[in-house]
């Protein structure tokens, strides 16, 4: 049975026109005006008055990540279901083997966890140490396992973080394999030292989390990351950028001619550090790294979007329940599991506070949430595009809808939303994944295990 989506305003990263999309066998078969049903059993969606754009590609999620003594509360099933409800049809999650663990063993573990995904997914590989076999395993990932991006953490000293010596080795091995280096940029030693000082002074509440990781600590690490990449001659993708200093570091590197990609997330565009003043340990819901920044940085980030410095908006979706998980850090903010939910909210928030607020046009919106993530990570044109032969992953977005984000109604497996009370414009009327309607009229119609692992080709 085919699917015909009619009379919608089709938006890609470069085009915008009223037309139809015909899907068959899980793929887009035709795009254009005046398309007809090819079989009497074809399903027809009337998208008049709505946008039709490619399913979102979230380049940064952490489903069921073991982290800081607990595990992210969305698994691949609940997390991809929430994604689909928000118009994201592909996530790129992080396989995260620990220090001393083989990358390939870690990969097998993550592929097993991900089998329950309801929509398609790809994986980045975390490189949390450099051993005798790491270079060969990176090459194996690129050449045969469909994994071409490798992420390391300059923060989280003593856990999954790496120091500069290791990073140079990891970057060189990734360069030789033809992979892309991704980095979480914060100066791990400074953070550890500030945390120790604050705790020793009895400053144990969540409000001290951002004090332990000021923006210059991120800016310094971002600059250092670009310097390391420059020395090695390696391509770099900087994840979850939050501040002016990082934007400057990336811009400097680009002006030197380096290939550096930049990602930010809705929470850094839309929240400021007043969230850490919330009473009754509610501030713990906002404990993530890097932290939410003082006001001023948000407009700099929007400026970075306007200036084309940001390639992507991801979510860094990594939820933890307040009850039983965030509470682990009641007596010590350094023990609060870092992260928050967001995979369901990305498109609606960016549409509302980006497009409707006049900060970007629809093409740029599609580029940030779908097309550029797909291009940078080797999923394009299968994902992030509306062309014949691409996967039939589409969103029908009704601009006349509106709503309010709330933990009471979201699909995330989490008891808090960091966007609680945010008004949103437009709504995902339908999500189509692989030619099948998986979300319509506020209801999910998904199947555990329907998602496929999307292998990415070596360059």
Residue 165 burial by CB count (10 A; 0-12/13-18/19+): exposed, middle or buried? Answer: exposed
Q: How many CB atoms lie under 10 A from the CB of residue 190?
A: 18
- Binding to ligand URP (CB under 6 A) within 297-356 occurs at 316, 318, 338-339
| Smallest distance, Zn ion to C-beta of residue 222, A | 12
| Smallest distance, ligand URP to C-beta of residue 184, A | 5
Report the candidate in 144, 148, 18 with the shortest Cα–Cα distance to residue 95.
148
Partner that binds at residue 338, options Zn ion, ligand URP, none, CB closer than 5 to 8 Å by kind? ligand URP
Give the length of the chain.
Answer: 459
Phi, psi of 288, deg, nearest 5 = -150, 165
Cis ω before 290 (30° cut-off from 0)? yes
**Choice from 23, 53, 56, 62 touching ligand URP (CB under 6 A):** 62
| Smallest distance, ligand URP to C-beta of residue 185, A | 10
- Binding to Zn ion (CB under 5 A) within 155-194 occurs at 184
Report residue 382 CA to chain centroid gap: 18
DSSP characters over 347-387: HHHHIIIIITTTSS-HHHHHIIIIIHHHHHTT-TTTSS--S
**Choice from 10, 84, 183, 288 touching ligand URP (CB under 6 A):** 288
Q: Considering the rule CB under 6 A, would residue 238 count as an interface residue with ligand URP? A: no
| Smallest distance, Zn ion to C-beta of residue 168, A | 20
Q: Which is nearer to ligand URP, 29 or 284 (CB)?
A: 284
Q: Which is nearer to ligand URP, 147 or 239 (CB)?
A: 239
Partner that binds at residue 288, options ligand URP, Zn ion, none, CB closer than 5 to 8 Å by kind? ligand URP
Q: Which is nearer to ligand URP, 154 or 438 (CB)?
A: 154
| Smallest distance, Zn ion to C-beta of residue 416, A | 18
Q: Which is nearer to Zn ion, 160 or 429 (CB)?
A: 160
| Smallest distance, ligand URP to C-beta of residue 202, A | 24
- Residues near 442 by beta carbon (within 8 Å), at least 6 away in sequence: none
Is 427 within 8 Å of 398 (Cβ atoms)? Answer: yes
* Distance set, CA 253 to CA 88, 171, 174, 264 (Å): 31, 16, 19, 17
Is 385 within 8 Å of 54 (Cβ atoms)? Answer: yes
Is 338 within 8 Å of 289 (Cβ atoms)? Answer: yes
Query: What CA–CA distance (Å, rounded) separates 144 from 458?
Result: 9
> Quick one: which segment of 25-33, 119-127, 314-322, 434-442 binds Zn ion (CB under 5 A)?
314-322
Q: Which is nearer to Zn ion, 29 or 117 (CB)?
A: 117
**Choice from 289, 325, 352, 367 touching ligand URP (CB under 6 A):** 289
Phi, psi of 91, deg, nearest 5 = -115, 150
Count of residues touching Zn ion (by CB under 5 A): 2
Report the candidate in 454, 431, 303 with the shortest Cα–Cα distance to residue 378.
454
Query: What CA–CA distance (Å, rounded) separates 339 from 330?
Result: 16
| Smallest distance, ligand URP to C-beta of residue 452, A | 24
DSSP characters over 387-421: STTSB--EEEEEEEEEEE--TTT--SSSS--TTTT
What pairs with residue 91 in β-bridges?
Answer: 58, 121
Q: Which is nearer to Zn ion, 184 or 456 (CB)?
A: 184
| Smallest distance, ligand URP to C-beta of residue 283, A | 14
Q: Which two tokens stand for residue 105?
A: 């063993």
- For residue 338, give the DSSP letter: P
Q: Which is nearer to ligand URP, 50 or 126 (CB)?
A: 126
**Choice from 184, 187, 326, 456 touching ligand URP (CB under 6 A):** 184
Q: Considering the rule CB under 6 A, would residue 263 count as an interface residue with ligand URP? A: no
Q: Which two tokens stand for residue 299?
A: 């407009």
Partner that binds at residue 339, options Zn ion, ligand URP, none, CB closer than 5 to 8 Å by kind? ligand URP
Partner that binds at residue 222, options ligand URP, Zn ion, none, CB closer than 5 to 8 Å by kind? none
Is 382 within 8 Å of 371 (Cβ atoms)? Answer: no
| Smallest distance, Zn ion to C-beta of residue 200, A | 26
Q: Considering the rule CB under 5 A, would residue 316 count as an interface residue with Zn ion? A: yes
x/- string (CB under 6 A) for ligand URP, residues 115-154? Answer: ----------------------------------------
Q: Which is nearer to ligand URP, 328 or 450 (CB)?
A: 328
Partner that binds at residue 86, options Zn ion, ligand URP, none, CB closer than 5 to 8 Å by kind? none
**Which residues of this chain interact with ligand URP, rule CB under 6 A?**
62, 184, 288-289, 316, 318, 338-339
Query: Which residues of the chain form contacts with Zn ion (CB under 5 A)?
Result: 184, 316
């Amino acid at each position: 049975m085919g699917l015909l989506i009619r009379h919608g305003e089709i938006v890609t990263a470069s085009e915008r026109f009223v037309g139809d999309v015909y899907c068959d066998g899980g793929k887009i078969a035709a795009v254009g005006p005046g398309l007809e049903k090819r079989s009497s059993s074809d399903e027809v969606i009337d998208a008049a008055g709505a946008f039709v754009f490619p399913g979102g590609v979230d380049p940064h999620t952490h489903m069921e990540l073991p982290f800081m003594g607990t595990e992210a509360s969305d698994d691949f099933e609940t997390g991809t279901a929430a994604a689909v409800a928000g118009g994201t049809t592909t996530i790129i999650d992080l396989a995260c083997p620990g220090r001393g663990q083989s990358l390939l063993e870690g990969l097998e573990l993550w592929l097993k966890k991900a089998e329950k995904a309801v929509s398609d997914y790809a994986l980045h590989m975390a490189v949390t140490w450099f051993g005798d076999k790491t270079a060969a395993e990176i090459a194996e990932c690129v050449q045969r396992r469909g994994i071409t991006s490798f992420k390391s953490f300059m923060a989280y000293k003593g856990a999954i973080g790496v120091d500069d010596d290791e990073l140079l080795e990891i970057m060189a091995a990734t360069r030789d394999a033809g992979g892309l280096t991704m980095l979480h940029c914060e100066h791990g030693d400074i953070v550890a030292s500030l945390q120790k000082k604050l705790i020793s002074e009895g400053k144990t509440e969540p409000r001290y989390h951002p004090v332990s990781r000021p923006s210059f600590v991120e800016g310094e690490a971002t600059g250092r990351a670009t310097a390391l990449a420059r020395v090695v001659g390696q391509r770099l993708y900087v994840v979850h950028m939050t501040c002016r200093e990082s934007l400057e570091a990336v811009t400097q590197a680009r002006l030197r001619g380096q290939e550096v990609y930049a990602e930010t997330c809705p929470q850094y565009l839309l929240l400021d550090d007043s969230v850490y003043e919330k009473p009754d340990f509610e501030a713990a819901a906002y404990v993530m790294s890097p932290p939410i920044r003082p006001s001023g940085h948000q407009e700099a980030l929007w400026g970075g979007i306007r200036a084309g410095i940001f390639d992507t908006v991801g979510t860094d979706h990594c939820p933890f329940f307040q009850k039983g998980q965030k509470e682990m850090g009641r007596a010590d903010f350094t023990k609060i599991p870092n992260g928050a939910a967001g995979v369901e909210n990305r498109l609606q928030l960016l549409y509302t506070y980006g497009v409707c607020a006049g900060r970007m046009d629809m093409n740029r919106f599609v580029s940030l949430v779908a097309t550029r993530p797909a291009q940078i990570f080797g999923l394009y044109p299968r994902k992030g595009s509306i062309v014949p032969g691409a996967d039939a992953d589409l969103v029908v977005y009704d601009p006349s809808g509106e709503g309010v984000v709330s933990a009471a109604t979201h699909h995330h497996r989490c008891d808090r939303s960091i966007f609680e009370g945010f008004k949103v414009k437009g709504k995902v009327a339908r999500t189509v994944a692989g030619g099948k309607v998986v979300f319509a009229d506020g209801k999910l119609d998904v199947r555990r295990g329907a998602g496929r692992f999307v292998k990415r080709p070596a360059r």
